[in-house]
Structure 1
Amino acid sequence: MPLSILDYDPYLEPFKEDLSLRLFEYARTKKRLLGTDGTLSDFANGYKYFGFQQEKNHWTFREWAPAATKAWLVGDFNNWENNFELRSAYGGTWEISTPGMLPIGSKVKVKLLLKDGQTVYRVPSYIMYAVQNERYEMDGVITHPQYEWKHKAPSLTEAPLIYEAHIGISTEDYRINSYKEFTRDVLPRIKKDGYNTIQLMAIMEHPLYASFGYQVSNFFAISSRFGKPEDLMELIDTAHGMGLRVLLDVVHSHAVKNVGDGLNLFDGTTSQYFHEGNRGEHSAWNTKLFNYGKDEVLHFLLSNLKFWIDVYKFDGFRFDGVTSMLYHDHGLGTAFTDYSKYFSLNTDVEAVTYLMLANELIRQVNPDATTIAEDMSAMPGMALPISSGGIGFDYRLSMGIPDFWIKQLKEKSDDDLDLMALWWELTTRRPGEKNIGYAESHDQALVGDKTIMMWLADSEIYWKMDTGSESLIIDRAIALHKLIRLVTFSLAGEGYLNFMGNEFGHPEWLDFPREGNGDSYQHARRQWSLADNQDLRFKYLLAFDNDMINLEHRFKFMENSASLKQQWVQNSDKLLAYQKGDLLFAFNFHPSYEQQLHLNFAEKPELIFDTDDRKYGGFGPRSSFGWSKGKLNIILEPRCAMVFRIK
């Protein structure tokens, strides 16, 4: 297979052997798993074999627990007794055909006798639904969801405009929200705001609500806090009917450590799903790490991906924690300052192989699917096709950009904004790879940090956001909030992401109910009424975001990074301008002075967007422009930006 990745990036030439090894291990693993003529889609059918399979007059149940010596299916249907003993089958599998149908909704577990004589209870590994019992432990639940799908998934004909959402915190009430209420109340907001893709967090079952869904226990189960499987199916189906695609925030980088709830020590051994010893422990996250070199683990994880596409009709995935997967040290403390850091003994080749297999499988199951990698290390080829020597993702997240903005707001003054550094951060990409740009996601709003709007406005946000108040702090906050989002939206990627509520400057931070905050829901909800209240200035930020998003709908300038034609950067004047496709963006980041810009165009440009417009909470339009004899003369007021259409 040719290494056309070298055509994109000649600096990779010294690492040609490493890239060839990447392809060799991928091909070798595929052959081991599939033989000569098998497909990954046929291989990844574990969810059709393991767990509960409903037959005509009974259930067939299978579980993989190779180190167990006996196994029983127990639950409230048989008073948790041992009268449903499983028989040993091939490869460490245990199975039973039940005498008659077990009731839907029955709580179940697998009871295992281990080699040391210990008896343990485990939630079935392929269970589709699980709930917490009175001891705050997970119980599996027999389910056979019946839902009649009404809509086909829409195709993505423009750049992905992603609305990152968490079901539980999507209500304004002091409680956990549901799939049904999200469908009724939030989906219409997302559609109205102009986003075309939803990225759902915390869907895979997790015992600890405060983990934000990133410590998964039951990989095939939806979070029961939010409702039933049919409710999630209805949510996705309704979104499809609105023209919205839905991505799953999938967590295959690690698993919760809880014994009994999930996979840890499932059959009494540490090595069933995870690496043994220190390699199986994530010291920073206190979680377990998968052994991607083990065929049974590959089968489990690949089957999991196909399951979410096949059963729930997800349109793709955002893979969480990819950096942690790629390196034996999980990228902790490593500065990726040169290419040798990507192709060293620190690189987990088995994890790289798994990610390549995952991307190929996803395309086989749904050729229209979208995959996004959360990788802060900038691994070369992450978002290049496997056929080119890449890992196969469609996009990578531009993770350095929110860090840039938070550092700017926390540590520097407006006068210290370095436009050259900003330009480099917003425009530097791995050659040939597409990025999803964003100014802030859920990560920047977690407890201990604050949203961009809170960094800008601080306590004034509580007292001076009404339309009748005057506040220089709020004026600055609104102006910079708009500039930060517009420059990031237009430059930082071939797609864009926003976290739920941040489009209108949602205040404060995110903190789930826990012992440390008195189990409070104060910061685990979304105050939609702030944006709906016509007496508050949050409405201006929402109107701005709506019209900003609509720029992509109208002009489709994001998808092609080559559409960035020319730029003008005047650092000392805090003046930045660039042409992207048919649009000219001009920014004045200076806090005090108006700035002038003189540019040559054959025809008179058309002003289509002004951040200083009063409908966006501005004071104008105050900036002005004139055109004469092929010259565009722009006068930009402080902390203002204008967008022109170049005819």
Structure 2
Amino acid sequence: MDQTISDFDIHLFHEGTLYNAHHTFGAHLEKQKKKVTGTRFTVWAPHAQAVSVTGSFTNWETGKYEMTRVNQEGIWTCTIDRDLTGEMYKYAITTASGDLVLKSDPYAFHSELRPQTASVVYDLSGYKWGDQLYRQRVRKRRPIYERPLSIYELHLNSWKQKEDGSYFTYREYADELIPYVKEHGFTHIELLPLTEHPLDASWGYQGTGYFSPTSRFGTPHDLMYLIDRCHQEDIGVLMDWVPGHFCKDSHGLYMFDGEPLYEYDSFNDRENHEWGTANFNLAKGEVRSFLISNALYWMHFYRIDGLRVDAVANIIYWANSEPETANPYATEFLQELNKAVFKENPRFLMMAEDSTDWPGVTKPVHEGGLGFNYKWNMGWMNDVLDYMEYHPFERRHHHHKLTFSLVYAYSENYILPLSHDEVVHGKRSLLHKMPGEYWEKFAQWRLLLSYLITHPGKKLLFMGGEFAQFDEWKYVQGLDWFLKDYDSHHQADHFSKELMDFYTNHKALHEFDHDPQGFEWIDADNAEQSIYSFIRKGKRKSDTLMVICNFTNVTYDHFELGAPFEGKWEEVFSSDLQQFGGTNLLNQSATTVEKPLHNRKQSLTVKIPPFGVTIWKPAKK
């Protein structure tokens, strides 16, 4: 038995609790006195008759470096007395039926550039981080629940491309992306899956190399540089992560040793027909060790600040079950995952993309929940986008679509997502969803983003949404940056910057995001005019904001509404400013009168612009 693999680690791996499995499995350089003396390979393939390591260093001849079977459960290992840094390799596996298959390393740290599929021996050590001040600030800050959280979701392939259509490198993206994100006021970026994947059109959601950042944009150290630079500019980095299913390409995890291994044995449980992928077998301890280790790997080696966990509904319910039946192995896995993550870093973000009504997604595990700290509010997203697509004078018949979200707004810790899924596959861009003439589309786009910012919950916007891209997301090419040369889109871009700055600097919009005391309706029932008015509160009375949203193109010069308390109020934000492309129907200030309205002792009279949001704050004395 190879002495570099301990019996205890082997026990933990099979049990499902080896949370640093990437230290044991994969390709590792062995060193003595800082000098590399060999390269050790370790793989799990219990159904194999034999396994060897092949690669560029053997001219892809198989059988030259045979691996030794460590235990009956199928761990194989060997050490090659050479420094193989940068060499390409695969495992040559002889299956139980005698077939020979070549497989990429599930634990590889680097991969060959697609369409090639070999793993690459890579030493992750050696990068010198410069984000120490950022990490200190994060530890000292108040919990994220009380602070602004605004996420810019993006797909590196199609955010921006070079003139010849090629991609920027991770290092080049640092220069292109970071100033842009900072200028627009987002607190975090969220990258669509970075794990290695063979098909560009999958956007990274059908992965093969879970420990290997895609080589489309460079090396692992190049990615570390991008994240480091983000941190130095106080930008958090999140990543989409897909622990539910994986790509079925022949070089990957699928039927890894000739039989189901990482996937379920049963065809019905294994096959994910919607996406043409295979579902991870979350009942197996070895698969749990693989996935939980992977989450911690991204945290430790790349200093990722959080994971958006994809397709949680697909995880917690058995595939193809009618009616939907909960998978107890999956819920146990998610609970163990979140416990392991938060034990390592209590401030890490674990965000569930969950379309179900599963209770307690963001409740701690010790209270019976799944243990995430955030959940995407898919109900809010679906309702608000459905509502916006109605003709403005039909909206009065669907008024409840915008009020219903407040019935459950505090049942979980929510993120409000206007994500990539809503602007692709014929769904049209946010701007193009809006009905009416050109000016009306832009006014309603400003209205939509203002409603996003003022509604309880943290914020997420997909790239292009910040300057009102007209066409839906085209993932094969860059965003339509030329649109910024047109006044309407230039004004839209300016609006989104000002809106995000307003959100960040007004505590009432984030201090009580997850506490009912932070929100109060003024009038939730004005369906006939499609006007919604509400209050957002901070810890101090002086931080109170009054928000009025008009979802029709009717202008009101004298609109009365009940005020939270008496005195002088000032308009501190309007989506209708001329510099944003609006009609410039503005208020300076208004003082309450002793006229009861909306169950309040005093009221105000204000102007409300068409398709406009106007926000008020108590005047300073």
1:222 counterpart = 2:213: yes
1:452 to 413, 427, 430: 430
TM-score by length of 2: 0.87
After superposition, give the CA deviation of every residue in 1:419-472 in whole Å (9 maximum; x if it has no partner): 63233343232654210013x210011132211112237xxxxxxxxxxxxxx7
Counterpart mapping for 1:72-221 below 5 A:
72-81=52-61, 82-90=63-71, 91-102=73-84, 104-132=85-113, 136-145=115-124, 146-152=126-132, 153=135, 154-155=137-138, 157=142, 158-173=147-162, 174-221=165-212
Deviation at 1:205, TM superposition (A): 0.8
The letter for the 1-side match of 2:521 is Q
Deviation at 1:626, TM superposition (A): 2.8
Distance 1:384 1:210, change over 3 A: same
TM-score by length of 1: 0.84
Mapped partners of 2:86, 2:180: distance in 1: 33
1:379 counterpart = 2:331: no
After superposition, give the CA deviation of every residue in 1:453-493 in whole Å (9 maximum; x if it has no partner): 12237xxxxxxxxxxxxxx71210111001111112211x4
2:531 aligned residue: 575
Deviation at 1:381, TM superposition (A): 0.1
Q: Which range is displaced more, 277-286 or 544-553?
A: 544-553
1:250 counterpart = 2:250: no
2:521 aligned residue: 566
The letter for the 1-side match of 2:421 is D
CA RMSD of aligned residues (A): 2.3
The letter for the 1-side match of 2:198 is P
Q: Any conservation in 2 of the 1:625–1:633 contact (CA below 8 Å)?
A: no
2:279 aligned residue: 289
2:465 aligned residue: 502
Distance 1:209 1:267, change over 3 A: same
Deviation at 1:272, TM superposition (A): 4.3
1:264 to 238, 241, 254: 254
Deviation at 1:573, TM superposition (A): 1.2
Mapped partners of 1:198, 1:265: distance in 2: 35
Deviation at 1:362, TM superposition (A): 0.8
Q: Which range is displaced more, 63-72 or 551-560?
A: 551-560
Q: Any conservation in 2 of the 1:159–1:494 contact (CA below 8 Å)?
A: no
Q: Any conservation in 1 of the 2:190–2:239 contact (CA below 8 Å)?
A: yes
Counterpart mapping for 1:425-436 below 5 A:
425-429=404-408, 431-436=410-415
SS of equivalent to 1:302: helix
1:443 to 421, 437, 450: 421
Deviation at 1:186, TM superposition (A): 1.1
2:483 to 501, 523, 530: 530
Number of equivalent positions: 568
After superposition, give the CA deviation of every residue in 1:549-586 in whole Å (9 maximum; x if it has no partner): 12232122224242003331311011111001111101
Q: Any conservation in 1 of the 2:569–2:618 contact (CA below 8 Å)?
A: yes
1:398 counterpart = 2:377: yes
Distance 1:304 1:330, change over 3 A: farther
Deviation at 1:355, TM superposition (A): 0.7
Deviation at 1:408, TM superposition (A): 3.5
The letter for the 1-side match of 2:159 is S
1:299 counterpart = 2:280: no
2:546 aligned residue: 584
1:69 aligned residue: 49
2:578 to 603, 607, 614: 614
Identity, % of aligned positions: 25
1:544 aligned residue: 495
Deviation at 1:599, TM superposition (A): 2.1
2:504 to 553, 558, 564: 553
The letter for the 2-side match of 1:414 is P
Deviation at 1:330, TM superposition (A): 6.4
Mapped partners of 1:597, 1:566: distance in 2: 15
Mapped partners of 2:487, 2:528: distance in 1: 35
Q: Any conservation in 1 of the 2:151–2:461 contact (CA below 8 Å)?
A: yes
1:43 counterpart = 2:18: yes
Unaligned runs of 5+ in 1: 1-31, 335-340, 458-471, 513-520
1:638 counterpart = 2:610: yes
2:269 aligned residue: 279
Deviation at 1:34, TM superposition (A): 6.5
Distance 1:47 1:34, change over 3 A: closer
Mapped partners of 1:230, 1:632: distance in 2: 58
Mapped partners of 2:569, 2:167: distance in 1: 49
Q: Any conservation in 1 of the 2:383–2:402 contact (CA below 8 Å)?
A: no
Distance 1:448 1:420, change over 3 A: closer
SS of equivalent to 2:245: coil
Q: Any conservation in 2 of the 1:200–1:247 contact (CA below 8 Å)?
A: yes
SS of equivalent to 2:268: helix
Mapped partners of 2:527, 2:284: distance in 1: 53
1:10 aligned residue: none
The letter for the 1-side match of 2:108 is I
Mapped partners of 1:51, 1:383: distance in 2: 34
Q: Any conservation in 1 of the 2:431–2:468 contact (CA below 8 Å)?
A: yes
1:462 aligned residue: none
Deviation at 1:234, TM superposition (A): 0.5
Distance 1:580 1:430, change over 3 A: closer
